[in-house]
A and B are shown apart, each in its own frame.
Chain A
Amino acid sequence: MPELILLLIALVSLAFSAESAVFFCIVAVAVAIYRRQTLRNDFEKFQSNLTEQADALRREIHWTRDKLEKVTAQVAELRASAEQGAAVSTESPRVEPAAVPVATPQTQVPQAPPPSPKPVETPKIAPLAPEAKPVAPPTVAPPRPPMEKPGEIPVAARTVTPPVVPSTPPTQQPRPATPAASVQAPPPPSFRSQKPQPTFTERLRKALDLEETLGTNWLNKLGVVILVLGVALFGMYELSELGPHGKVLLLAALGAAMLGAGIYLDRGDRYRIIGRTAIGGGWALLFFTSYGAHHVDAMHVIQSEPTDLMLMLGVAIAMALHTLRYRSQVVTGLAFLLAYSTITLTQDTVYALTAGAALAVGIVIIAVRMQWYELEVFGILSSYLNHMYWLYKLLGMQGANHHPFPEFTASTAILAFYWLVYRFSYIVRKIETPLQENISAVAALLNTLLLLVVMKFQSVHPELAFFALLVLGALELGFGQAALARRRRTAFTLLSILGASLMIMAVPFRYSGENRAILWMIGAEAFIAAGIILRENVFRRIGNVTALLVALHIVVLEVVPLFRQRAVTSGPLTHSGTLLLTAGILFYLNAHPLRLRWPELYSEWVDQQMLMAQSYFGAFTLALGLWAIVSWEWTALAWAVLMVALAFANLRYKTVDIYQQALLLAVSVTVRTFWVNLPSALAGTNHEHMPRVLIVSLISAAMYFSAWPLGKAQGERWPRNLLTWFATALLAYLIATDVQHRWVCVAWLGLGVALLASARRCRLDHLCYQEHFLALFATISAWAKLDVVVSGSLMQRIAPSLLVAAGLYAVSRKASLWTDRRGQWVAYLHTWAATSLVAFAAYVEFQAIVLPVVWMGFALVLAWIARRFLVKELAAQAHVISALAVIQTVTVVFHSEARVQGLSERLLVTCGVMAALYVMSRLVPMNEEQRKLELHHVYTWVASTLGAVLLWYELQPLSVAVGWALLGLLLFEVGTLRNVRQLRFQGYVALFSSFGRIFVVNLAAGGQPGDWLSPRMLTVVPVALILFFVYSQIAFGEDSDSSIGRFNVTAMLAYAGSITVVSILYFQVSSPWIAAAWAVLVPILLGTSIVLEKEVFLQQAILLSVAIFSRGMIHNLFDGSYFTDAGWKGRFAELGTAIVVMLISLPLAYRLKRHFTRNEKGNAILRFVSKLISRPEQVIFFVPIVLLTFMLALKMRAGMVTVAWGMEGVAVFLLALALNERSFRLTGLALLMLCVGKIMVIDAWRLAPRDRYLTFIVLGLALLGVSFLYTRYRETIRQYL
């Protein structure tokens, strides 16, 4: 409500003064915020109380339920015993149930548990007797002793059975089955501590609450505001006929009516809110009426402004007094607000402000008595702002601006009065809650702050500001002592700080333009000394805070001018430097010696933090001071000295602050040295060379020197390591800038060696790490120099790099403190770096074409050393160098077309590399396991591959296959002679490569037709010969290379040789004769198999027979021209030759019948192949016979086909008889039967008469002959069945 009233006032005042409207708006917002906070606190309290009450209720319900269960159980027991007693006794049972529904009021039972806030309902206990009537409590019989009569209900049971439901109609339940069934046990209570989530109902309820709040609270207030506003406006502008007096009276009456109604309504609880709203509105209307009586033209009835002012004040005071009845701080505050607004509106003279003084006194009295300290805050704000508003109206926006004005003295007096009144209030008040203390502190601060603001606004004599502040500060300090006397520790602290602050603030007003930091520092030290002497930490803290402010002052205000000065002069800035050094020393004194001397005074966290800050500021100011006094490159040295001092001071004080400052200084020194000292030579300044070397060396020495105490003080290794890293980095950089360019790498390595010696002496591993980095940089530098240095002699070009390499090799075994695996890795890296340097030097110095030979030579040397001195990593390096040589060979040498003395450079270099690789395979050290795995033969493989590729490059495409075959033969022979199987394997690979290549190049290289010495024959036949030769060497040699893993090399070679020959025939012979040419190979293969006793050739013969069958069927029989018969050759000679040759081979096949062991294992296909191999005569017989049969069918004249088949059948039958082969015989018979069938189906109907007869005759004869033969040799045949 008050904020709405304030808004209303703001609206009204908007018509007259925008400033006052803004003022009221601001106040309204402030009030609204305050009220919101208050309401929130109240709500939280209320919520907490509700939670507690709910918990209590829940406990009581639980307790009640427990008791109820017990009682119900007792009732059931009693009922059971009563029924038993009734059955036994003769007494009528009607008496018994009458007592059951009896309810006893809680007040009548002294044994009852603590009373519940509400009576507890019994959950659905049915009456035991249907005929029982409800019994009213007054008619209840008094309790009887429990043992008075058997079967009677005990008193306890009756006392806790609440009769909320007095009765149940008797007709509903005549008699329950069992009493227990009628009792429903309540669910166990939950005592979960966490806050339950709001349910939907609760959320709905909350929404309803909000709605209710709006309806019951806000709407009426809004209505009142609107009513008042409307009435006011109505009164001012509409009721002109009433005149000013009438309007004033009307408004006053209306305000009084509202006030009266409000008072009336406030008596009851229901309408209290409305009532108080009406009270506020009534007073507001009355106050407005009093205001308008003078200030509103339409209501102008009072001519004198003071009179009207008094009236307004009277209304305000009356309102305040009235509102005190309600003990509502807000309502009273509203009254005072109206009073202040009156002053604001009417303050034409300074005397009007005296009313404000009176109000201030009133507020203070009320606030102290009622402990409404929030009201006092409002009063302070109103008093000073009101005064400020008055000054603003009097002096304008700029204020007095040092121009005297008549009201100055009076205004100052009023302000002083305000300050004194509110300060007095602050001292004398009683504080009961922390909230009150906090509000009071705000009021105290506001009091002084607003005083200073207003005083500044009306300042006429600025020269007196120093004294004013000093006096005010002293007064605050004095009031602080008074507060201490009243045991107001917070007030004492606040006022002491305030006083000290004012005194510190006073300094610039008197000593503007001079060095205020010293004065402040003196003040700070004085406070600290006082705090130590008086054991008062407030003073010490004030001193320390002042010191920190001084530090901030230095940082903010002193540093920038210092830098500006440094920008224009390179000389020492003694004044600033001295100040900074002094401040730094004082900071350090405060931070460390005092704390060391009186540790109990600085035991609190806040003090320690302030001392820590001072310590860091001390370091900063000291470093800054040194920078100001000691210029340019000497600064870093000075800082280094300070760093050493701090490092050793840390040994005494053992604080992490000094320790960290020393580290920060170390970083600063390093950065400064890198930034200023080291680049000076490069920048071409006039600084001397030696001083730089000297300074940087001294700085590095200081860092090495500081590393020890810093590492020792905190027990951590990393600061020590960091400093040594910095020192080493500085020295390394110094070397880079001051040592001759090409020798930098050597110098770096020298420094590394020195560090290594120190590391081994002092057992400091991080120095070893630094050596590693230096070695890395030296290596990179040496690499870079090799790449860019092209002038000078050979030694000048590569000597530094070789020196570095030698050094790396030399220190590799001493480059670490460890003997474990890490040490080995360090050694490896050193030798790797050295080897890389040497290899790169060779890369730079030698021509690309000869580089592989040089590298291979180097690799051989490494391998020899590795083998001789057992240096493992050198072997690996030899591998890598060899790999590089091979890569260079492949990428560069192979593409070279240059010749030396008529010989190809490619040939010479590659042969050299190959030779070295073969030597390497024997020289390179490997352990037994690697040797067993034959890893060293990687070299021979690579060498052989290079040889093969070399042949590819050097020979014509047609000759490459022969070259590879020769290489394979050579490798095989050497491998055989030296018993090196890997060489033989390489030979096999070369041979198979040659075999594959003939399909790409050689077989397609046909010469002129009929040219049997064509390029094809010339180059493919030698390959086949070599393949067969190597096959024979394996097949009949002593070496067991027949199988390599899953590969049967022997068979593969034999197949490769045979396929080569078959391929030659395919491409060399004309298409129709290919089958015949292949057929010629069949007896050869069979004969070879017989002679050499090798199954592989038999396999090939069978496969070739299958190929002949396919080729004959598809190409010779079905692929002929559609329209030409190709003559007798095309019809019979081409395929007939193949048939005849194969049939001639049949005896050879018979010799191989069941010659080789049959393999019964494997899958069906393998078993079938094995079967074929065991019976080759079947294949050799059936392939030509089937071909012949089809040839006769397709190539013979239609009328002669049957005859031909008949003759074929007879011949086959005879052959079968001769060979005693049942399958052949059956074939002959089948052919004959085929003829019969053909005659019956085709020939008898389609042939020409002549052919038909001829066919019949011949076939008849054939059949007869066969029949005869069959009959004759029947017994013999049976033997072979």
Chain B
Amino acid sequence: MVFISTQEKSQLNNMIENADLIFTLSHIFQLLGWAFLPLLMLPIMYFLFSKNQFLKSLSFGIVSTIDTFNYYIGEIVKWLLPLMVLTISFSIFALSIFGKSWTKLFETSEYFHASVIMLGAASTLLAGKHVRVDIFYSKMNNISRSLVEIIGFYSLLLPVCIIILWNSQSFVRSSWMILEGSSEIDGIKGEFLLKTLIPIFSVLMIIQGLSISLRAVMYILRHEKPLLPLNFDDTFINENSFK
């Protein structure tokens, strides 16, 4: 016989109710993902039907929307970094001098750290600040660089992010079901939110990669490209140095 207290029983009931809701939600998200999947073929379609006006304006809109979106996400989450410096410093002095231990405060900095990485990565991709081995790359002309971007997106970035996205389903779902919290007693009860950052990261990276490969196709076809957001003038194509 297993003894279950009434409190645990109500928790268990809650969990089962939650489970239904979360399963439904995760199915909805999955369906949304399938629905948007064909959009990933857009760069290829654009290349094949380069005369099609609809594709042209659609791509133009998508690229500028994605770039603006990710740019502003980056501009917002970057402020978490100075906040992180302040919260950690504050919690050090509070703990070592006044003996006040605010686990919650220290853990907020963990949330800041994770959010900066997972949400800022796409903005970094947009800015072209992810490191490359540029022994040969620096000698390539802009057409080859554009091709590297397109091939890289379809054969490297996209599969990786889709695998991470697909495999994170059960990881995130099981965390949401118990609304997982910190392992510390007085910690923040939001670990499920932290874990959700992983699929969000994949989605942001996929759409940013899509936008960059669309830009690359536009470059190859010598079509007009949307302007880059402020402060971001050095993505993969260096307009000023034709070689």
Specify whether A and B are partners: no
Instruction: Please give the residue numbers on chain A whose beta carbons come within 8 Å of chain B beta carbons, in ascending order.
Output: none
Instruction: Please give the residue numbers on chain B whose beta carbons come within 8 Å of chain A beta carbons, in ascending order.
Output: none
